[in-house]
A and B are shown apart, each in its own frame.
Chain A
Amino acid sequence: MTIVIETRDLTRHFGDLVAVDHVSMQVPKGSIYGFLGPNGCGKSTTIRMLCGLLIPTEGSANVLGIDVLEDPEALKSKIGYMTQRFSLYEDLTVVENLQFMTEIYSVPRSERAPRIKAQLERFSLVDRAKQLAGTMSGGQRQRLALAAVTLHRPELLFLDEPTSAVDPESRREFWEFLFDMVDQGTTMLVTTHFMDEAERCHALAILDQGVLVADGSPKRLMADLPASVVEIESDTVRVVRETLLDLAEVIDVAQLGSRLHALVRPNVQDPSAFLDASLRQRSLQASLKLVPANLEDVFVMATLGREVDR
């Protein structure tokens, strides 16, 4: 297995703020690696360091065999970076933007037109070819952005919250594109705060306040969760939640719509019955059931650990 990205104790300070705190990770070739975390957790900063746009305060990063501190320019023709904010030119048309990118990435002259045509077809932008990029919808822009950063066929793709501004339909479609590219051998690092997207990644890193608090495949992370998950349905979820949070055996209770997910310490024998009894004592009605952990639970648990430490 070839490693495409390897960092060791990657750290970045902005003044007193530690945006990224000793992150060490490995991304294998041909996989989608997800960065999961809330806004401001250091996802974008990490990506920018890996692209050579920010200099790490500490630690090292090796991307595609190149030390980003030593020769960031050597890296630039081999990677694609889809920024969080739409960064193509809004006053240029779709085709003009794509032409610009082929020229900037020195795509051979004879290949420019065929590649642009292929991208237009692949990302269903043929009808939009002459439209100004600034007048397109969020989903169309995301497709254009992806088309633009993959014109030069990069080995490695960085995508910073690629779907945060698009509707669910476009998100599904977008991930189809990503899986196609992975099949062709491209490696990707994607940041997201959507659990369903994170679950699609081959491997995940959960970042909280710049610290990598958990990593592994989504399945592994869910299976290894050091807690039992009890799903609770009740008419009085808020009161139930307050009550459960007071119990020492309960690590945390998260509300998911009208349901609650209670994370119970693993030493409790029958967590469902235990919680039921506790609620009955306070004459609260609820139906409880033990469920397998989902990624949300993993996320809650991982980010909670940090707060307990502090």
Chain B
Amino acid sequence: MRWLSGVRIFAIAKKEFFHLRRDRLTGGMVVGMPIMMTVLFGYAINNDVRNLNAGVVDEANTTASRALVADAMATQVVRVVVRAGSPLELERLLAAGKISVGLYIPADFEERLAQARPPYAQLMVDDSDPIVLGAARGLAQLPLGQNPQTTLKSTFEVRALYNPERRSAVFIVPGLCGVILTFTMVMFTAIAIVRERERGNLELLITTPVQSLELMVGKIIPYVFIGYIQISLILLMGMSLFDVPVRGSMLDFYSGAGIFVLSTLTLGLLISTVAETQFQAFQLAFMSFLPQLLLSGFMFPFEGMPKAAQVFAELFPMTHFLRIVRGVVLRDATLSMMVDEVWPLALFFVVVMTFATMRFRKRLD
């Protein structure tokens, strides 16, 4: 192997910068994508479900039963939109999607109460959506005002340390850093080499003395900067629009982000050495993105996944970065406390970079 040339690496990086500067659409994506996604996700994703459409069948129709319905509405979790005649009708409305929750109060409601013979009433839940099920479960714990015996005393006092108001944005926005970077970084580099091939530049490039590793390193340098621009934008918007507290050190945040950006960029490079056309590169990039989005712990709790899925997810850079970013931003953790998440990223970078460099041959066959 010959010595690497800093001049050649710099030449490639500079050229990539020129491409970016002249490509308005991509340039717009650099800034537009994080802004759009942060606003969209920050406002739209809310696990704190409110105002579910509910139907009520009150066969008892007594003071107590009416109070129960009023209490249920007072939680703001449900909103009574239909008063139905029978439980069967509730089931039909649920199946049609007109309501998410059906509240059935039997005719002997008062008797059951008096004899302390639960269940006193029934909640029918559209559990085709698990979030709705979770909200309805909360409703089932609703204490019955008149009868203090039925209220349960908590054994534990819960102390929420980092997000006591349970605001979704606080949880979502730091995670968005990982999602948006994974998406844009892989997209950008996935087409980096394929584009040269499609436009015919590669035939010239591989006739020059440039080495594979120089090409790979030079190609990712501009995108490290772009990654930093995007992550700063997301954090800034999170702080100003959604009051996301940034508790940890900025140095730790940016160092962690740097390692993460490098590892996702190499993933894109690897895709670029495999794909034959830009379209294929896009498909592969998307294929690599989806499992990361679903399994990294951004969308669904990591702990809830089967063991095999967890092991698989440990391979993704996004899984580790989500833990780092939540740790540093929300829990004031230092990077040194999270070494266990940092080394997998570093290892991913080294292994995939080596693999991509070896896959890229300065040949046409």
Contacts and interface: CB of A to CB of B under 8 A. Distances in A.
A104 interface: yes
Contacts, number: 81
A100 B15 contact: yes
Contact of B208 (A48, A55, A76, A86): A76
Which of B5, B202, B207 gathers most chain A CB within 10 Å?
B207
B226 interface: no
A68 to B, nearest CB: 11
A76 B209 contact: yes
Contacts of B118: none
Interface string A88-101: 11111000100111
Nearest to B204: A87
Contacts of B11: 99-100, 103-104
Contact of B15 (A73, A79, A89): A89
B209 A105 contact: yes
A45 to B, nearest CB: 9
A88 B364 contact: no
B159 to A, nearest CB: 57
Contact of A83 (B5, B15, B200): B200
Interface in B265-304: none
A66 to B, nearest CB: 13
Interface string B1-23: 01001011011101100110011
B217 interface: no
A81 B207 CA distance: 7
Interface string B340-365: 00000000000000000000001111
A53 B206 CA distance: 8
A71 to B, nearest CB: 11
B89 interface: no
A83 B15 CA distance: 20
Contact of A104 (B203, B208, B362, B363): B208
Nearest to B21: A91
B210 interface: yes
A98 to B, nearest CB: 12
A145 B141 CA distance: 77
A243 interface: no
B18 A96 contact: yes
B210 to A, nearest CB: 5
B26 to A, nearest CB: 11
Contacts of A85: 200, 203
Given A54-B365, A55-B365, A92-B15, A105 B208 contact: yes
Contacts of B206: 53
A77 B202 CA distance: 16
A87 B209 contact: no
Given A81-B207, A104-B11, A53 B364 contact: yes
A189 B325 CA distance: 58
B232 interface: no
A90 B2 contact: no
A81 B2 CA distance: 22
Contacts of B210: 104
A92 B200 CA distance: 14
9 contacts: A55-B363, A76-B207, A76-B208, A83-B200, A88-B201, A99-B11, A103-B7, A104-B208, A106-B209
Interface of B: 2, 5, 7-8, 10-12, 14-15, 18-19, 22-23, 199-211, 362-365
